[in-house]
Amino acid sequence: MTNSPSFGTAVRFWLTLGFISFGGPAGQIAIMQREIVDKHRWVSSEDFLHALNYCMLLPGPEAQQLATYLGWRLHGIRGGIVAGSLFIIPSIFFLMFLSFIYANYGAIDSVAAILFGFKAVVVAIVIEALLKISNRAFKHSAHFIIAILSFDAIYFFAVPFPLIIAAAAIAGLILFRSPGKPVSKAVAPVNHFHTLRIFFVCLILWLIPLLLVFAITGTSSIATKNYLFFTQSAFVTFGGAYAVLAYVNQSVVSAGWITSAQSIDGLALAETTPGPLIMVLQFIGFMSGWNNSDGFNQTWYAIACALIATYVTFLPSFLFILAGAPYIERLRTNSRLTSALSGVTAAVVGVIANLALVFGSHVIFNESRFDVFALLLAVGSFIALHFFKANVIIVVLLAGLLGLAKFLLLG
Protein backbone atom coordinates (compact mmCIF):
# COMPACT_ATOMS: atom_id res chain seq x y z
CA MET A 1 0.00 0.00 0.00
CA THR A 2 1.51 3.32 -1.06
CA ASN A 3 0.75 6.89 0.08
CA SER A 4 1.02 9.61 -2.53
CA PRO A 5 2.50 12.85 -1.13
CA SER A 6 1.33 16.34 -2.00
CA PHE A 7 3.41 18.18 -4.57
CA GLY A 8 4.70 20.62 -1.93
CA THR A 9 5.80 17.77 0.35
CA ALA A 10 7.60 16.10 -2.54
CA VAL A 11 9.36 19.35 -3.48
CA ARG A 12 10.65 19.75 0.07
CA PHE A 13 11.91 16.18 0.03
CA TRP A 14 13.71 16.53 -3.32
CA LEU A 15 15.34 19.77 -2.15
CA THR A 16 16.52 18.09 1.05
CA LEU A 17 17.85 15.15 -0.95
CA GLY A 18 19.85 17.55 -3.10
CA PHE A 19 21.74 18.73 0.00
CA ILE A 20 22.35 15.30 1.59
CA SER A 21 23.04 13.13 -1.47
CA PHE A 22 26.65 12.31 -0.66
CA GLY A 23 28.25 8.92 -1.19
CA GLY A 24 28.02 8.46 -4.94
CA PRO A 25 25.23 6.64 -6.79
CA ALA A 26 25.10 3.68 -4.40
CA GLY A 27 24.63 5.95 -1.40
CA GLN A 28 22.13 8.18 -3.21
CA ILE A 29 20.03 5.22 -4.35
CA ALA A 30 20.12 3.83 -0.80
CA ILE A 31 18.81 7.14 0.57
CA MET A 32 15.91 7.14 -1.91
CA GLN A 33 15.14 3.50 -1.09
CA ARG A 34 15.07 4.23 2.62
CA GLU A 35 13.07 7.46 2.45
CA ILE A 36 10.70 6.93 -0.48
CA VAL A 37 10.02 3.18 -0.17
CA ASP A 38 10.68 2.15 3.43
CA LYS A 39 9.83 5.28 5.43
CA HIS A 40 7.19 7.23 3.48
CA ARG A 41 5.86 4.37 1.29
CA TRP A 42 5.31 6.72 -1.64
CA VAL A 43 6.44 4.03 -4.11
CA SER A 44 6.33 0.25 -3.75
CA SER A 45 9.55 -1.74 -3.60
CA GLU A 46 8.66 -3.47 -6.88
CA ASP A 47 8.10 -0.16 -8.70
CA PHE A 48 11.32 1.26 -7.23
CA LEU A 49 13.32 -1.70 -8.55
CA HIS A 50 11.68 -1.39 -11.97
CA ALA A 51 12.63 2.29 -12.05
CA LEU A 52 16.20 1.46 -11.05
CA ASN A 53 16.41 -1.15 -13.80
CA TYR A 54 15.29 1.45 -16.35
CA CYS A 55 18.00 3.85 -15.27
CA MET A 56 20.77 1.25 -15.20
CA LEU A 57 20.20 0.66 -18.93
CA LEU A 58 20.59 4.34 -19.81
CA PRO A 59 23.67 6.46 -20.41
CA GLY A 60 24.07 9.17 -17.82
CA PRO A 61 23.92 9.45 -14.01
CA GLU A 62 21.60 6.69 -12.85
CA ALA A 63 20.85 8.20 -9.41
CA GLN A 64 19.73 11.53 -10.90
CA GLN A 65 17.69 9.70 -13.51
CA LEU A 66 16.11 7.56 -10.80
CA ALA A 67 15.10 10.70 -8.90
CA THR A 68 13.65 12.11 -12.13
CA TYR A 69 11.70 8.92 -12.78
CA LEU A 70 10.31 8.74 -9.23
CA GLY A 71 9.31 12.40 -9.37
CA TRP A 72 7.55 11.72 -12.68
CA ARG A 73 5.87 8.66 -11.19
CA LEU A 74 4.50 10.71 -8.30
CA HIS A 75 3.50 13.96 -10.05
CA GLY A 76 3.93 13.59 -13.80
CA ILE A 77 6.23 15.72 -15.92
CA ARG A 78 6.40 18.63 -13.46
CA GLY A 79 7.35 16.17 -10.71
CA GLY A 80 10.09 14.65 -12.83
CA ILE A 81 11.54 18.03 -13.75
CA VAL A 82 11.49 19.26 -10.15
CA ALA A 83 12.98 16.05 -8.72
CA GLY A 84 15.74 15.79 -11.31
CA SER A 85 16.60 19.49 -11.06
CA LEU A 86 16.67 19.76 -7.27
CA PHE A 87 18.88 16.67 -7.16
CA ILE A 88 21.67 18.64 -8.84
CA ILE A 89 21.03 22.35 -8.09
CA PRO A 90 22.72 22.41 -4.65
CA SER A 91 25.83 20.73 -6.07
CA ILE A 92 25.93 23.30 -8.90
CA PHE A 93 26.41 26.10 -6.36
CA PHE A 94 28.79 24.15 -4.09
CA LEU A 95 31.04 23.08 -6.94
CA MET A 96 30.94 26.49 -8.62
CA PHE A 97 32.21 28.04 -5.40
CA LEU A 98 34.95 25.42 -5.02
CA SER A 99 35.93 25.83 -8.67
CA PHE A 100 36.33 29.59 -8.20
CA ILE A 101 38.44 29.09 -5.06
CA TYR A 102 40.55 26.49 -6.84
CA ALA A 103 41.13 28.64 -9.92
CA ASN A 104 42.13 31.68 -7.86
CA TYR A 105 44.03 30.12 -4.97
CA GLY A 106 44.97 26.59 -6.08
CA ALA A 107 48.55 27.69 -6.74
CA ILE A 108 49.07 28.75 -3.10
CA ASP A 109 51.36 26.20 -1.45
CA SER A 110 49.06 25.35 1.47
CA VAL A 111 46.04 24.91 -0.82
CA ALA A 112 48.11 22.84 -3.24
CA ALA A 113 49.16 20.61 -0.34
CA ILE A 114 45.54 19.95 0.60
CA LEU A 115 44.66 19.20 -3.02
CA PHE A 116 47.64 16.84 -3.20
CA GLY A 117 46.10 14.82 -0.38
CA PHE A 118 42.79 14.81 -2.24
CA LYS A 119 44.48 13.45 -5.37
CA ALA A 120 45.84 10.40 -3.57
CA VAL A 121 42.31 9.52 -2.46
CA VAL A 122 41.06 9.92 -6.01
CA VAL A 123 43.47 7.20 -7.13
CA ALA A 124 42.08 4.90 -4.43
CA ILE A 125 38.48 5.77 -5.33
CA VAL A 126 38.98 4.98 -9.02
CA ILE A 127 40.69 1.65 -8.24
CA GLU A 128 37.87 0.68 -5.89
CA ALA A 129 35.31 1.55 -8.56
CA LEU A 130 37.30 -0.55 -11.02
CA LEU A 131 37.09 -3.59 -8.73
CA LYS A 132 33.36 -3.18 -8.11
CA ILE A 133 32.50 -2.82 -11.78
CA SER A 134 34.77 -5.71 -12.82
CA ASN A 135 33.01 -7.99 -10.32
CA ARG A 136 29.72 -7.27 -12.10
CA ALA A 137 31.15 -7.28 -15.60
CA PHE A 138 33.29 -10.43 -15.81
CA LYS A 139 30.80 -13.26 -16.23
CA HIS A 140 32.70 -14.95 -19.05
CA SER A 141 36.36 -15.16 -20.09
CA ALA A 142 35.51 -13.17 -23.24
CA HIS A 143 34.44 -10.24 -21.02
CA PHE A 144 37.98 -10.12 -19.63
CA ILE A 145 39.44 -10.14 -23.14
CA ILE A 146 37.15 -7.27 -24.19
CA ALA A 147 38.32 -5.29 -21.16
CA ILE A 148 42.00 -5.90 -22.00
CA LEU A 149 41.51 -4.92 -25.63
CA SER A 150 39.60 -1.78 -24.59
CA PHE A 151 42.42 -0.79 -22.23
CA ASP A 152 45.01 -1.32 -24.96
CA ALA A 153 42.93 0.66 -27.47
CA ILE A 154 42.55 3.76 -25.29
CA TYR A 155 45.93 3.67 -23.51
CA PHE A 156 48.32 2.75 -26.32
CA PHE A 157 46.45 3.90 -29.41
CA ALA A 158 44.20 6.71 -28.06
CA VAL A 159 41.16 5.21 -29.81
CA PRO A 160 38.13 7.48 -29.17
CA PHE A 161 35.85 6.24 -26.39
CA PRO A 162 32.65 6.08 -28.53
CA LEU A 163 34.41 3.77 -31.01
CA ILE A 164 35.51 1.48 -28.19
CA ILE A 165 31.95 1.33 -26.87
CA ALA A 166 30.54 0.61 -30.34
CA ALA A 167 33.06 -2.17 -30.97
CA ALA A 168 32.37 -3.70 -27.54
CA ALA A 169 28.60 -3.65 -28.17
CA ILE A 170 29.10 -5.48 -31.48
CA ALA A 171 31.40 -8.00 -29.79
CA GLY A 172 28.85 -8.58 -27.04
CA LEU A 173 26.10 -9.05 -29.58
CA ILE A 174 28.14 -11.67 -31.43
CA LEU A 175 29.66 -13.51 -28.46
CA PHE A 176 26.97 -13.57 -25.80
CA ARG A 177 23.39 -14.74 -25.71
CA SER A 178 21.40 -13.50 -22.73
CA PRO A 179 17.83 -14.53 -21.96
CA GLY A 180 15.24 -11.79 -22.16
CA LYS A 181 13.27 -10.73 -19.09
CA PRO A 182 9.49 -10.92 -18.82
CA VAL A 183 7.56 -7.70 -19.32
CA SER A 184 6.22 -6.24 -16.08
CA LYS A 185 2.46 -5.91 -15.76
CA ALA A 186 3.07 -2.29 -14.69
CA VAL A 187 4.45 -1.25 -18.07
CA ALA A 188 2.96 2.10 -19.10
CA PRO A 189 1.27 2.31 -22.51
CA VAL A 190 3.32 3.91 -25.25
CA ASN A 191 2.04 7.24 -26.57
CA HIS A 192 4.14 8.05 -29.63
CA PHE A 193 2.75 11.59 -29.97
CA HIS A 194 3.64 12.34 -26.35
CA THR A 195 7.16 11.02 -26.95
CA LEU A 196 7.66 13.16 -30.05
CA ARG A 197 6.38 16.26 -28.26
CA ILE A 198 8.89 15.80 -25.42
CA PHE A 199 11.65 15.12 -27.93
CA PHE A 200 10.99 18.36 -29.84
CA VAL A 201 10.71 20.40 -26.64
CA CYS A 202 14.11 19.09 -25.53
CA LEU A 203 15.54 19.73 -29.00
CA ILE A 204 14.38 23.36 -28.83
CA LEU A 205 15.76 23.69 -25.29
CA TRP A 206 19.09 22.44 -26.65
CA LEU A 207 19.13 24.44 -29.88
CA ILE A 208 18.17 27.93 -28.66
CA PRO A 209 21.01 28.23 -26.09
CA LEU A 210 23.44 26.85 -28.68
CA LEU A 211 22.47 29.61 -31.11
CA LEU A 212 22.93 32.20 -28.34
CA VAL A 213 26.39 30.82 -27.55
CA PHE A 214 27.19 30.94 -31.28
CA ALA A 215 26.04 34.57 -31.49
CA ILE A 216 27.83 35.79 -28.35
CA THR A 217 31.11 33.87 -28.41
CA GLY A 218 31.52 32.66 -32.00
CA THR A 219 31.43 29.20 -33.53
CA SER A 220 35.04 28.34 -32.69
CA SER A 221 35.07 29.49 -29.04
CA ILE A 222 35.69 27.22 -26.08
CA ALA A 223 32.12 27.89 -24.95
CA THR A 224 30.77 26.52 -28.24
CA LYS A 225 33.14 23.57 -28.14
CA ASN A 226 32.01 22.87 -24.57
CA TYR A 227 28.38 22.92 -25.66
CA LEU A 228 28.92 20.43 -28.48
CA PHE A 229 31.43 18.18 -26.74
CA PHE A 230 29.51 17.71 -23.49
CA THR A 231 26.32 17.10 -25.47
CA GLN A 232 28.13 14.27 -27.21
CA SER A 233 29.54 12.88 -23.97
CA ALA A 234 26.05 12.77 -22.43
CA PHE A 235 25.06 10.09 -24.92
CA VAL A 236 28.05 7.78 -24.33
CA THR A 237 28.22 7.77 -20.52
CA PHE A 238 27.49 4.06 -20.09
CA GLY A 239 29.35 2.89 -17.00
CA GLY A 240 28.85 5.97 -14.84
CA ALA A 241 30.96 8.97 -13.97
CA TYR A 242 34.34 7.19 -14.01
CA ALA A 243 33.80 5.95 -17.57
CA VAL A 244 32.74 9.35 -18.87
CA LEU A 245 35.61 11.01 -17.02
CA ALA A 246 38.04 8.69 -18.81
CA TYR A 247 36.52 9.76 -22.12
CA VAL A 248 36.46 13.45 -21.22
CA ASN A 249 39.98 13.32 -19.79
CA GLN A 250 41.25 11.72 -23.00
CA SER A 251 39.61 14.42 -25.13
CA VAL A 252 39.95 17.72 -23.25
CA VAL A 253 43.47 17.17 -21.92
CA SER A 254 44.80 16.28 -25.36
CA ALA A 255 42.98 19.31 -26.77
CA GLY A 256 44.69 21.58 -24.22
CA TRP A 257 41.49 22.79 -22.53
CA ILE A 258 42.68 21.70 -19.08
CA THR A 259 45.65 19.82 -17.65
CA SER A 260 45.61 16.24 -16.35
CA ALA A 261 46.34 17.60 -12.86
CA GLN A 262 43.27 19.84 -13.02
CA SER A 263 41.14 16.87 -14.07
CA ILE A 264 42.27 14.90 -11.01
CA ASP A 265 41.67 17.90 -8.75
CA GLY A 266 38.16 18.27 -10.18
CA LEU A 267 37.25 14.69 -9.31
CA ALA A 268 38.54 15.21 -5.78
CA LEU A 269 36.43 18.36 -5.35
CA ALA A 270 33.35 16.66 -6.83
CA GLU A 271 33.73 13.87 -4.26
CA THR A 272 33.33 16.43 -1.45
CA THR A 273 30.02 17.87 -2.70
CA PRO A 274 26.50 16.41 -2.75
CA GLY A 275 24.89 15.34 -6.00
CA PRO A 276 26.01 13.00 -8.79
CA LEU A 277 29.73 12.52 -9.28
CA ILE A 278 29.33 13.38 -12.95
CA MET A 279 29.15 17.00 -11.73
CA VAL A 280 32.92 16.87 -12.16
CA LEU A 281 32.13 17.86 -15.75
CA GLN A 282 30.99 21.24 -14.45
CA PHE A 283 34.45 21.74 -12.94
CA ILE A 284 36.05 20.74 -16.24
CA GLY A 285 33.79 23.21 -18.04
CA PHE A 286 34.75 25.93 -15.55
CA MET A 287 38.47 25.35 -15.89
CA SER A 288 38.32 25.11 -19.69
CA GLY A 289 36.71 28.55 -19.73
CA TRP A 290 39.15 29.87 -17.13
CA ASN A 291 42.16 28.62 -19.12
CA ASN A 292 40.82 29.80 -22.49
CA SER A 293 38.71 32.91 -21.88
CA ASP A 294 38.70 34.02 -25.55
CA GLY A 295 39.07 37.69 -24.58
CA PHE A 296 36.06 37.68 -22.24
CA ASN A 297 36.10 38.36 -18.49
CA GLN A 298 37.86 35.28 -17.14
CA THR A 299 35.58 34.61 -14.16
CA TRP A 300 32.25 35.13 -15.92
CA TYR A 301 33.38 33.18 -18.96
CA ALA A 302 34.43 30.26 -16.74
CA ILE A 303 31.06 30.35 -14.96
CA ALA A 304 29.27 30.37 -18.31
CA CYS A 305 31.28 27.39 -19.56
CA ALA A 306 30.59 25.53 -16.30
CA LEU A 307 26.85 26.09 -16.61
CA ILE A 308 26.95 25.06 -20.27
CA ALA A 309 28.66 21.78 -19.37
CA THR A 310 26.10 21.07 -16.65
CA TYR A 311 23.10 22.02 -18.80
CA VAL A 312 23.93 19.83 -21.79
CA THR A 313 25.09 16.95 -19.57
CA PHE A 314 21.74 16.66 -17.79
CA LEU A 315 19.26 17.74 -20.48
CA PRO A 316 19.46 14.32 -22.22
CA SER A 317 18.77 12.62 -18.88
CA PHE A 318 15.39 14.34 -18.67
CA LEU A 319 14.69 13.34 -22.25
CA PHE A 320 15.58 9.70 -21.60
CA ILE A 321 13.26 9.46 -18.59
CA LEU A 322 10.30 11.65 -19.53
CA ALA A 323 10.06 10.29 -23.07
CA GLY A 324 11.56 6.85 -22.86
CA ALA A 325 10.36 4.98 -19.76
CA PRO A 326 7.61 2.96 -21.52
CA TYR A 327 10.06 1.91 -24.24
CA ILE A 328 12.97 1.08 -21.96
CA GLU A 329 11.01 -1.56 -20.07
CA ARG A 330 10.31 -3.31 -23.34
CA LEU A 331 13.94 -3.06 -24.38
CA ARG A 332 14.93 -4.94 -21.23
CA THR A 333 13.13 -7.96 -22.66
CA ASN A 334 15.39 -7.91 -25.74
CA SER A 335 18.11 -10.55 -25.38
CA ARG A 336 20.22 -8.97 -28.12
CA LEU A 337 20.35 -5.64 -26.30
CA THR A 338 21.29 -7.39 -23.06
CA SER A 339 24.12 -9.17 -24.85
CA ALA A 340 25.41 -5.95 -26.40
CA LEU A 341 25.32 -4.16 -23.04
CA SER A 342 27.34 -6.95 -21.41
CA GLY A 343 30.11 -6.22 -23.92
CA VAL A 344 29.87 -2.49 -23.19
CA THR A 345 30.15 -3.09 -19.45
CA ALA A 346 33.31 -5.16 -19.98
CA ALA A 347 34.81 -2.40 -22.14
CA VAL A 348 34.06 0.15 -19.42
CA VAL A 349 36.30 -1.84 -17.06
CA GLY A 350 39.22 -1.43 -19.46
CA VAL A 351 38.53 2.27 -19.88
CA ILE A 352 38.42 2.84 -16.12
CA ALA A 353 41.65 0.84 -15.73
CA ASN A 354 43.22 3.37 -18.11
CA LEU A 355 41.90 6.20 -15.95
CA ALA A 356 43.35 4.60 -12.81
CA LEU A 357 46.76 4.21 -14.45
CA VAL A 358 46.83 7.77 -15.80
CA PHE A 359 45.76 9.28 -12.48
CA GLY A 360 47.98 7.00 -10.42
CA SER A 361 51.12 7.69 -12.44
CA HIS A 362 50.48 11.44 -12.30
CA VAL A 363 50.05 11.45 -8.51
CA ILE A 364 52.58 8.82 -7.39
CA PHE A 365 55.26 9.88 -9.89
CA ASN A 366 54.80 13.54 -9.00
CA GLU A 367 56.86 15.75 -11.34
CA SER A 368 58.69 12.61 -12.58
CA ARG A 369 59.77 11.76 -9.02
CA PHE A 370 58.51 8.72 -7.13
CA ASP A 371 56.47 10.04 -4.18
CA VAL A 372 56.39 7.55 -1.30
CA PHE A 373 53.98 9.72 0.72
CA ALA A 374 51.47 9.79 -2.15
CA LEU A 375 51.70 6.01 -2.55
CA LEU A 376 51.16 5.40 1.19
CA LEU A 377 48.25 7.83 1.24
CA ALA A 378 46.64 6.17 -1.78
CA VAL A 379 47.09 2.67 -0.32
CA GLY A 380 45.78 3.76 3.07
CA SER A 381 42.76 5.44 1.46
CA PHE A 382 42.01 2.29 -0.56
CA ILE A 383 42.17 0.11 2.57
CA ALA A 384 39.85 2.51 4.45
CA LEU A 385 37.34 2.66 1.59
CA HIS A 386 37.39 -0.93 0.38
CA PHE A 387 37.91 -2.99 3.53
CA PHE A 388 36.54 -0.74 6.28
CA LYS A 389 33.79 0.92 4.18
CA ALA A 390 34.81 4.35 5.48
CA ASN A 391 32.79 7.40 4.47
CA VAL A 392 34.38 8.82 1.33
CA ILE A 393 33.91 12.44 2.48
CA ILE A 394 35.79 11.75 5.72
CA VAL A 395 38.61 9.98 3.87
CA VAL A 396 38.96 12.82 1.35
CA LEU A 397 39.02 15.52 4.05
CA LEU A 398 41.44 13.55 6.25
CA ALA A 399 43.79 13.04 3.30
CA GLY A 400 43.67 16.77 2.60
CA LEU A 401 44.65 17.49 6.21
CA LEU A 402 47.50 14.97 6.00
CA GLY A 403 48.72 16.64 2.82
CA LEU A 404 48.66 20.01 4.62
CA ALA A 405 50.44 18.55 7.67
CA LYS A 406 53.22 17.15 5.46
CA PHE A 407 53.69 20.57 3.87
CA LEU A 408 53.79 22.40 7.23
CA LEU A 409 56.19 19.89 8.81
CA LEU A 410 58.46 18.99 5.93
CA GLY A 411 57.88 21.72 3.37
> What is the pLDDT at residue 342?
82
| 384/359 same-domain check | yes
- For residue 148, is it within any domain? yes
Q: Which residue did the predictor score with more confidence, 334 or 61?
A: 61
**Ordered DSSP codes for 192-248:** HHHHHHHHHHHHHHHHHHHHHHHHHH-TTSHHHHHHHHHHHHHTS-TT-HHHHHHHH
> What is the pLDDT at residue 367?
66
Q: Where a domain ends, among 87, 104, 132?
A: 87
The pLDDT tens digits for 303-337 are 999 999 999 999 999 999 998 876 765 665 667 77
Instruction: Report the distance separating Cα 381 and Cα 160, nearest Å.
Output: 31
Cβ(180)–Cβ(340) under 8 Å? no
Q: Is the pLDDT of residue 287 over 80?
A: yes
| 81/97 same-domain check | no
Q: Which residues pair with 328 in a beta bridge?
A: none
| 214/128 same-domain check | yes
Helix axes 161-175, 141-155, angle to 10 degrees: 160
pLDDT over 70 percentage in the chain: 91
Q: What is the arithmetic mean of pLDDT over 274-293? A: 92
| 104/223 same-domain check | yes
> What is the pLDDT at residue 107?
65
- For residue 323, is it within any domain? yes
- For residue 105, is it within any domain? yes
Q: What is the arithmetic mean of pLDDT over 248-263? A: 87
| 333/351 same-domain check | yes
pLDDT band at 183 (very low <50, low <70, confident <90, very high): very low
Q: Where a domain ends, among 39, 64, 87?
A: 87
Q: What is the arithmetic mean of pLDDT over 148-170? A: 87
Q: Which residue did the predictor score with more confidence, 111 or 199?
A: 199
Cβ(135)–Cβ(345) under 8 Å? no
> What is the pLDDT at residue 330?
65
- For residue 128, is it within any domain? yes
Total domains in the fold of the chain: 2
Instruction: Report the distance separating Cα 48 and Cα 410, nearest Å.
Output: 52
> What is the pLDDT at residue 156?
92
| 43/102 same-domain check | no
| 279/172 same-domain check | yes
| 69/135 same-domain check | no
- For residue 347, is it within any domain? yes
Torsion of CA 123, 132, 275, 234, to 10 degrees: 90
pLDDT band at 184 (very low <50, low <70, confident <90, very high): very low
Structural domain including 221 reads 91-410
The pLDDT tens digits for 104-145 are 988 678 877 887 888 888 788 888 878 877 887 888 899 999
Q: Is the pLDDT of residue 355 over 90?
A: no
Q: Which residues pair with 370 in a beta bridge?
A: 365
pLDDT band at 226 (very low <50, low <70, confident <90, very high): very high
The pLDDT tens digits for 365-390 are 876 789 999 999 999 999 998 899 88
> What is the pLDDT at residue 363?
83
- For residue 1, is it within any domain? no
- For residue 2, is it within any domain? no
| 333/404 same-domain check | yes
| 102/248 same-domain check | yes
Q: How far is CA 383 from the centre of its chain?
A: 24
pLDDT band at 83 (very low <50, low <70, confident <90, very high): very high
- For residue 368, is it within any domain? yes
State the chain's maximal CA–CA distance in angstroms: 67
| 163/235 same-domain check | yes
pTM attached to this predicted model: 0.81
The pLDDT tens digits for 5-46 are 999 999 999 998 898 776 567 668 878 888 898 888 999 887
Q: Where a domain ends, among 87, 120, 150?
A: 87
> What is the pLDDT at residue 269?
86
Look over the chain and give the mean of its residue pLDDT values, rounded to a whole number.
Answer: 86
| 46/171 same-domain check | no
